[in-house]
Amino acid sequence: MAGIPEVILRVESLFSKFPGIGRKSARRIAFYLMDREREDVVQVAEALIDLKDKITHCPVCNHITEKIPCDICAAVQRDESILCVVEDSMDVISLERTVSFKGKYHVLGGLISPLDGVGPDDLAIESLMVRLDKVKEVILAINPSVEGDTTSFYLSRMLRKFPVKVTRLARGIPIGGDLEYTDEATLARAIEGRIEIPNE
């Protein structure tokens, strides 16, 4: 297009591939960066390269990390008898933010999805099984979707061979949620999983 320097179009087209960024946001970002100091832009560029060069996967839990083993695997104060199995590293970060889980994690690196050609061998399941020695409970913290349920089912079958308790996250009405606006499936699960109020 006339009037737009090629490099701006290039940044636009690269940025508009990012999740959640459209063409217009990409252009606004290009203009924003153009107005920054050169050293600020260099800092962004370097951080991106570092992202590829410094990040690796922990050989124990498969979580992303800069160190081997990762901070969580290395933390001696964490309870290694409880293992929380998740789909990806984003889930570890979300759960860590709650500051309520003190066990360890195992990152599958995906979900079983025959349609996408992802089978159990493509996931970090082998490395999960060899970790079960000191584990008493495995929490399957996997999203409820077709692939998630398939993966949970597969894992729970595999885990039967080991002397571990297998649990899943509770489902129900989210905190701050309203009965009126909760979908039927969630409401049904909330009724199913109802908890007795102790008679005090």
Burial class (CB in 10 A: 0-12, 13-18, 19+), 128: buried
For residue 49, the surrounding DSSP H or E stretch is: helix 38-54
Q: How many residues bind its own copies (CB under 8 A)?
A: 56
DSSP conformational letter for 129: H
Residues 6+ apart with CB under 8 A from 84: 95, 101, 103, 104, 105, 106, 138, 139, 141
- How far is 80 from 104, CA to CA, in rounded Å? 6
Min separation Cβ 28 and its own copies, Å: 5
Chain positions 19 to 48 lying near its own copies, rule: CB under 8 A, are 19-21, 25, 27-34, 36, 38, 41-48
**8 and 27 in contact (C-beta within 8 Å)?**
yes
CB atoms within 10 A of CB 123: 21
Chain positions 72 to 111 lying near its own copies, rule: CB under 8 A, are 72, 75, 89-90, 92-93, 96-97
For residue 24, the surrounding DSSP H or E stretch is: helix 23-34
- Pick the piece of the chain touching its own copies (CB under 8 A) from 13-21, 110-118, 124-132, 167-175: 13-21
Which lies closer to its own copies via its Cβ, residue 54 or residue 160?
54
**104 and 73 in contact (C-beta within 8 Å)?**
yes
Min separation Cβ 64 and its own copies, Å: 6
Binding test (CB under 8 A) with its own copies, winner from 60, 62, 65, 155? 65
Min separation Cβ 40 and its own copies, Å: 8
- Pick the piece of the chain touching its own copies (CB under 8 A) from 68-76, 124-132, 172-180, 188-196: 68-76
Min separation Cβ 57 and its own copies, Å: 10
Task: Tokens 């998630």: give the residue.
Answer: 148
Min separation Cβ 42 and its own copies, Å: 7
Contact footprint for its own copies (CB under 8 A): 1-8, 10-11, 14-15, 18-21, 25, 27-34, 36, 38, 41-55, 63-66, 70-72, 75, 89-90, 92-93, 96-97
